């Protein structure tokens, strides 16, 4: 489920939580990026896992800006009823030519774009009828710009259910497969599995090809 009944919070509290994440990012930004290649030694492909925040990521003022968030699956009814978005599980990824990509594991949150940006420009499938919501943010909501058309509300990442179950067991018992230990220790630091929610002011949306203005 996209949201639970326990997720609704006062927007000022949500903004404070996002600011805490942003503060951590700004500290990381002072350090050099670190990377490891999951396919080290394989010439034909590369998958770089990058730790840290690139210098070009910058905070921007969201006041008065109309944002867009593309919506997949069955999340739309819950977003409309709650007027909230939440962080996902996927970080910012750059897909390079060939079998090569860069995964910025710290850049996780609520991804935003603008109404003039088609979904394929932000890493989604080309679909002229993709569902979306257009909205304003509450004053003070932290937003950073990664690329001209890719923006992000800093937040704690969610986790896939299967890894969340393993992580919960680790928290409760201390038992863990050694393959996941480094990741789980990082989750402890960043609060993974306890996603950030953010209230929004919905102005319009498209659902099943039909545009509705509120």
Sequential pLDDT tens for the chain (214 residues): 344 433 445 899 999 999 999 999 999 999 999 988 866 666 566 688 899 999 999 999 999 999 999 998 789 999 999 999 999 888 999 887 666 788 999 999 999 999 999 999 888 889 999 999 999 999 999 999 999 899 999 999 899 899 899 989 999 999 988 888 988 898 888 888 889 999 999 999 999 999 999 9
Among left, alpha and beta (phi > 0; psi -120 to 50; other), residue 95 is beta
Helix (H, G, I), strand (E, B) or coil at 162: helix
* pLDDT score, position 70: 96
* pLDDT score, position 5: 37
Tell whether 35 is covered by a domain.
Answer: yes
How far is 36 from 17, CA to CA, in rounded Å? 29
Tell whether 165 is covered by a domain.
Answer: no
Tell whether 28 is covered by a domain.
Answer: yes
Tell whether 169 is covered by a domain.
Answer: no
How far is 151 from 154, CA to CA, in rounded Å? 10
The tally of domains found in the chain comes to 1
Partnered with residue 85 across adjacent β-strands are 198
* pLDDT score, position 1: 39
Tell whether 32 is covered by a domain.
Answer: yes
* pLDDT score, position 96: 76
Contact present, 68 and 134 (Cβ < 8 Å):
yes
Tell whether 170 is covered by a domain.
Answer: no
Partnered with residue 144 across adjacent β-strands are 59, 152
CB count within 10 Å of CB 159 equals: 19
* pLDDT score, position 23: 96
Tell whether 104 is covered by a domain.
Answer: yes
Domain range for residue 78?
A: 11-158+193-208
Tell whether 177 is covered by a domain.
Answer: no
Residue 147 dihedral angles phi and psi, to the nearest 5°:
-130, 175
């Amino acid at each position: 489920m996209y949201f639970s009944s326990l997720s609704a919070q006062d927007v000022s509290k949500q903004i404070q939580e996002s600011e805490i994440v942003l503060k951590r990012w700004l500290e990381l930004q002072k350090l050099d990026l670190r990377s490891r290649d999951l396919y080290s030694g394989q010439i034909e492909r590369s998958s770089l896992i990058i730790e840290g925040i690139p210098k070009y990521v910058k905070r921007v003022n969201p006041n008065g800006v109309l944002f867009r968030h593309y919506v997949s699956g069955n999340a739309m009814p819950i977003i409309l009823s709650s007027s909230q978005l939440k962080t996902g599980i996927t970080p910012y990824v750059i897909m390079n030519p060939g079998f090569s990509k860069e995964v910025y594991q710290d850049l996780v949150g609520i991804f935003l774009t603008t109404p003039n940006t088609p979904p394929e420009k932000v890493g989604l499938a080309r679909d002229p009828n993709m569902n979306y919501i257009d909205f304003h943010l509450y004053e003070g909501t932290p937003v950073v710009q990664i690329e001209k058309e890719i923006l992000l509300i800093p937040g704690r990442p969610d986790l896939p259910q299967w890894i969340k179950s393993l992580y919960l067991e680790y928290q409760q018992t201390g038992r863990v497969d050694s393959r996941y230990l480094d990741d789980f220790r990082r989750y402890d630091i960043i609060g993974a599995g306890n996603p950030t929610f953010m209230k929004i002011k919905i102005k319009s949306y498209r659902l099943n090809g039909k545009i509705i203005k509120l």
